Amino acid sequence: MKKKLFNIVPKYAYFPLIMAIVANTLVYNVSKLVTNHFVHYDFSMKIDGMIPLVPIFITVYIFCYVEWIMGYILIARESKDYCFYYIAADIIAKILCLICFCVIPTTFVRPEPGTGIFNSMIAFIYMVDAPVNLFPSIHCLESWMCFRSSMKMQKVPRIYKIFTFIFAVLTFLSVVFVKQHVFIDIIGGILVVELGLWIAKKFDLKRLFVKTDSFFNK
């Protein structure tokens, strides 16, 4: 069983991936506790009022989680340096999200879903996920990171790179078509990824995981 797990995710990627999950969990939940009594701002624009609720896009919104798992496993498998760089960039992007969530808490009024299976799925998402922590969109962040990281991968076919771009666009559409986000949240999700990649490269933050990798493998 242990050998099979190593075949999926290299041992050097364990700690970075765990830290990425921890960062995501803390950023989303701690920020809610901090801003619970803060004034929340609505960044809706005219374009958002023109975008209808399109229930079928909830399938894309939910399937994103599968794409992220696949994307981050492939990041881990590409190489040690590749993994350390992109996971460091991902964590930086999440920290930028935390700053935004705390400094400019956001919310907006969601519509009432109708009937049918897709609307029921939307109603469930609305129930478990309050309309806060909207800017930047973590959904858009994750899918854009999967696309950006795929562009320099040597171990995946070209079709995967095309798929990640198409799916990133579908993710952007899904977050507004299921009324979980507004348009500017998409832009925010892209920007924090690009900033995260730049900061991680500028300050060579992959070295942090190089040090922990050396520590755990003494």
Task: Give pLDDT, residue 153.
Answer: 97
Of 45, 44, 40, which is closest to residue 106 (Cα–Cα)?
40
Q: Which residues contact 75 (CB under 8 A, 6 or more apart)?
A: 82, 83, 86, 87, 149
What does the alpha-carbon distance between residue 150 and residue 173 come to, in Å, rounded to a whole number?
20
Torsion of CA 144, 146, 151, 154, to 10 degrees: 180
Instruction: Output the tens digit of pLDDT for each of the chain's 218 residues.
Output: 455 555 789 999 999 999 999 999 999 999 999 999 999 999 999 999 999 999 999 999 999 999 999 999 999 999 999 999 999 999 999 999 999 999 999 999 999 999 999 999 999 999 999 999 999 999 999 999 999 999 999 999 999 999 999 999 999 999 999 999 999 999 999 999 999 999 999 999 999 999 887 766 65
Total-model pTM:
0.94
Among candidates 180, 56, 172, which has minimal Cα distance to 114?
56
* Dist. CA 25–CA 44, nearest whole Å: 26
The pLDDT tens digits for 114-140 are 999 999 999 999 999 999 999 999 999
Cα separation of the two ends of the chain: 23
Domain boundaries, the chain: 10-30+52-210
Do residues 120 and 113 lie in contact, with contact meaning Cβ atoms separated by under 8 Å? yes
Widest pairwise Cα distance in the chain? 58
Closest alpha carbon to 93 in 148, 165, 174, 170: 148
Q: Take residue 169 and report the two structure tokens written for it.
A: 């666009």
